[in-house]
Amino acid sequence: MKTGTTTVAMVCKDGVVLAADQKATMGHLVASKKAKKVHEITDKMAMTIAGSVGDAQALIRILRAEMQLYELQEKNGSVKAAATLLANILRGAYKSYTPEMVQLVLGGFDKTGGHLYSLDAAGGLSEEEDYAFSGSGSVIAVGVLEDGYKKDMTTKEGVNLLLRSIKAARERDVFSGGLLMNVVVITEKGLTWIEEDEIKKLIA
């Protein structure tokens, strides 16, 4: 499975941060320089995507709808519940011999704090205590993450480190790039997108 992209995410002491590059490719053709690879699921949950865009978008629609129903019943949707549901959907597709060709990172904040989960196309699910990554550029990005990560970083520090890691990947991975990056911060107060002007200042 080719996952030409770079997505990274981190658990911080006051929330979680998710980020991705904006380059979408079709083989060796750049299909888009401003592709959105971080998507809101609920007002306190988001997901990064790598792999087949069509498969990922279908999963986003399903998960959004299911979490809306879940929150109507339970009043407070947990990140673990969303990740488990998504893993079950992926596993069902995999066993039907029509797998969803994706690599996903789901992050959010609930009553137990900030959480981060990595999911593969076969339905494999792993909770990450520090950071997660996906895509072709992640081999480069993870080196920056491992060098700069410290326990109990703030979301502000997390944003800076994730941007540094994607910047490194964009410079060395031919399938990562685009005009800028998508970055979202999720805390107890909700979900906040980092504005483009702010991202430009931070990566300058």
8 — pLDDT class (breaks 50, 70, 90): very high
- Our answer to whether residue 192 is catalytic in this structure is no
Average pLDDT over residues 10-28: 93
- Please say whether the beta carbons of 81 and 66 come within 8 A: no
Question: What's the pLDDT at 2?
Answer: 46
Domain boundaries, the chain: 7-203
Mean pLDDT for the chain overall: 93
Cα–Cα distance, 189 to 22 (Å, whole number): 27
CATH code for residues 7-203 = 3.60.20.10
Share of the chain above pLDDT 70, in %: 98
28 CB contacts (<8 Å, ≥6 apart)? none
Rounded Cα distance between 73 and 68, Å, is 9
Identify the pLDDT of residue 48: 98
Buried/exposed 123-162: b ≥16 CB within 10 Å, e otherwise: bebeebeebbbbbbbbebbbebbeebbeeebebebbbbbb
What was the pLDDT predicted at 3?
Answer: 55
Residue with tokens 């109507």: 72
Render pLDDT for 131-171 as a digit per residue (tens, 0 to 9). 999 999 999 999 999 999 999 999 999 999 999 999 999 99
C-alpha to C-alpha distance for 22 and 178, rounded to whole angstroms? 5
Structure pTM? 0.94
Question: Which pLDDT belongs to residue 121?
Answer: 94
User: pLDDT per residue over 55-109, tens digit each?
Assistant: 999 999 999 999 999 888 876 779 999 999 999 999 999 998 889 999 999 999 9
Res 1: pLDDT: 43
Q: What tens digit of pLDDT does each residue of 69-83 get?
A: 988 887 677 999 999
Query: Among 5, 7, 25, 48, which one carries the catalytic annotation?
Result: 5
